[in-house]
Amino acid sequence: MEKEVLSILDKRTNFPYDIPIEKGAIRASDLRRIKSGPDDFGLMSYDPAFLNTASCQSAITFIDGDKGILRYRGYPIEQLAEKCTFLEVAYLILNGELPTELQLKNFVAAITRHTMLHETTKSFLEGFRHDAHPMGMFISTVAALSTVYPDAKNVHDPEVRKLQIHRLIGKVPTIAAYTYRHSLGYPYIYPDDDFSYTENFMNMLWKMVEPKYRANPVLARALDILFILHADHEQNCSANVMRAVGSSQADPFVCIAAAAAALSGPLHGGANEEVLKMLDEIGSKENVRGYVDKIKAGHGKLMGFGHRIYKNYDPRARIIKWAADQVFVATGRNPKLDIALELEKIALEDEYFIKRKLYPNVDFYSGIIYQALGFKPELFTVLFAIPRTVGWLAQWQEMLQDPEQKIARPRQVYTGYDVREFVPIEQRAVRAASASR
Ligand code: ACO
């Protein structure tokens, strides 16, 4: 078959170039051959915020944003959410195939073995102020695990990597639950390996004086589904951070802390908490139209709406809406749902949102269901970080095994001064400082 090429004529030199096209992409480094003269560095591509740059090849997650499709390792998210447990999906994401019964049993046992935190890590958590945000505690405590497991630095040993992956997946719910108990001043509850991953998490969050905590199975399943939906989402902001920090061969604990920091921002995973604040601000269905008009006039954004990749309904939001109905049977309806449904209806019929292809994303309904499950808004982004740890680790592992990957180091288009004569301090005049220089 004939190779696909892009032919470019550089009008500066009238020199033609053939740039190979592979899998629908050209290699940006091929552009370096295009020079205006012998001293020219070569052409670069300029792509702030990576709007059109593939930073890696990946076989983990597939998204078709126009059609609203999401698949992990080729399996549609709808089927995985309906038929699998979270740890089954975690195994799939990390290893590429769905586990056999025995593989799953061993994987669950390996994760369960690593749910405890070192007592010094518990004391570390106790040092936070009572009103510390759970996400700040989560990020710092995950980073602190790097000091507990110095063996994790050996990132090129597959067995060492596997051990850290089990440790991290096992420990993130324990850290998350302890951040919650800390903010309430409750004693920490140790993990209980009689329970499934999500039941154990609920146990560590909510067990009080009863001898054995019993999770409501409907709520535990709903949380498991939410974890499945949040497990990976290809090269989003936090996955990109995971890969970038990991590319310097830093250990996975500090890499996960960095990725979680990226997740915490309100434009990324922090949006679920912001949605609840927004629904509180709107207050009632009657105020929705006025609120939407304010957004259209340029006052803020509709939180939980819009996505860099999805220009259609986010398939995860659809499943969350379905799961919310199951949860509300057990918990009673969250009155904020009516405001959210009205907001969605008005926005989806509005020219502003239609033109920009702004649809509800995963964060729009997740807060409502989390609140019905009994979580406080401050914990919502931590609830996102627990399952996303699996995706971050899969992306990290894939990056380390990819012979084409090197330390992440983008180029820049320099816009500062050319060389200047140094001015001694007594001769310096006050000039208007430019933030960009
Ligand atoms: N409300 C109102 N207008 C919006 C919204 C929104 N939520 N999102 C985008 N727009 C508008 C922008 O103002 C812009 O309008 P313009 O063309 O008139 O300037 C246009 O739509 C395109 O938006 P961009 O900001 O260029 O889109 P980008 O891909 O950079 O941003 C993002 C995507 C960050 C998700 C954005 O839609 C947003 O801020 N949404 C609200 C926060 C949110 O819900 N984040 C969670 C995303 S899902 C996740 O990370 C798990």
Tell me the per-residue pLDDT of 389-403, one tens digit each, with 9 for 90 and over: 999 999 999 999 999
Whether ligand 1 lies within 6 angstroms of the CB of 354 is answered as no
Nearest-5° Cα angle at 233, 180 to 312: 110
Q: What's the predicted TM-score (pTM) here?
A: 0.94
Residue 340 CA to ligand 1 centre (angstroms): 18
Report the C-alpha gap between 224 and 155 in whole angstroms.
30
Residue 13 CA to ligand 1 centre (angstroms): 40
Q: Of the residues 135, 267, 348, 362, which should be mutated to test ligand 1's pocket, given the most ligand atoms within 8 Å of the CB?
A: 267
Q: Of the residues 226, 305, 364, 383, which should be mutated to test ligand 1's pocket, given the most ligand atoms within 8 Å of the CB?
A: 305
Amino acid at 3: K
Report the C-alpha gap between 20 and 167 in whole angstroms.
43
Question: The tokens 């009863």 sit on which residue?
Answer: 210
Which ligand 1 atom is the nearest neighbour of the CA of 384?
Answer: 51
pLDDT of residue 292: 96
Whether ligand 1 lies within 6 angstroms of the CB of 301 is answered as yes
Residue 82 CA to ligand 1 centre (angstroms): 30
pLDDT of residue 434: 57
pLDDT digits (tens, 9 = 90+) for 403-422: 999 999 999 999 999 999 99
Q: Residue 184 belongs to what H/E stretch? A: helix 158-184
Q: What is the mean pLDDT of residues 36-43?
A: 95
Is there a catalytic annotation at residue 363?
yes
Residue 417 CA to ligand 1 centre (angstroms): 34
Whether ligand 1 lies within 6 angstroms of the CB of 307 is answered as yes
Q: Which two tokens stand for residue 134?
A: 């759970």
Confidence of residue 313 (pLDDT cuts 50, 70, 90): confident
What DSSP state is assigned to residue 70? Answer: E
Residue 143 CA to ligand 1 centre (angstroms): 30
pLDDT of residue 335: 85
Whether ligand 1 lies within 6 angstroms of the CB of 271 is answered as yes
Is there a catalytic annotation at residue 131?
no
pLDDT of residue 430: 83
Residue 307 CA to ligand 1 centre (angstroms): 6
> Which residue minimizes the CA distance to atom 18 of ligand 1?
356
Residue 306 CA to ligand 1 centre (angstroms): 5
pLDDT of residue 431: 73
Alpha-helix residue ranges (DSSP H) falling in 283-335: 288-296, 315-331
Q: Is the pLDDT of residue 435 over 60?
A: no
Residue 169 CA to ligand 1 centre (angstroms): 31
Is there a catalytic annotation at residue 182?
no
Cα dihedral sign, 33-34-36-40: negative
Confidence of residue 424 (pLDDT cuts 50, 70, 90): very high
pLDDT of residue 1: 67
Q: Of the residues 229, 236, 356, which should be mutated to test ligand 1's pocket, given the most ligand atoms within 8 Å of the CB?
A: 356
Which ligand 1 atom is the nearest neighbour of the CA of 301?
Answer: 1
Exactly one of 232, 251, 314, 363 is catalytic; name it. 363
Whether ligand 1 lies within 6 angstroms of the CB of 295 is answered as yes
Whether ligand 1 lies within 6 angstroms of the CB of 343 is answered as no
Q: Is the pLDDT of residue 32 over 90?
A: yes
pLDDT of residue 380: 94
Exactly one of 268, 325, 338, 350 is catalytic; name it. 268
Report the C-alpha gap between 299 and 376 in whole angstroms.
26
Report the C-alpha gap between 107 and 118 in whole angstroms.
21
> Which residue minimizes the CA distance to atom 4 of ligand 1?
301
Cα dihedral sign, 132-133-138-139: negative
Contact assessment for residue 211 and residue 229, using Cβ atoms and an 8 Å cutoff: no
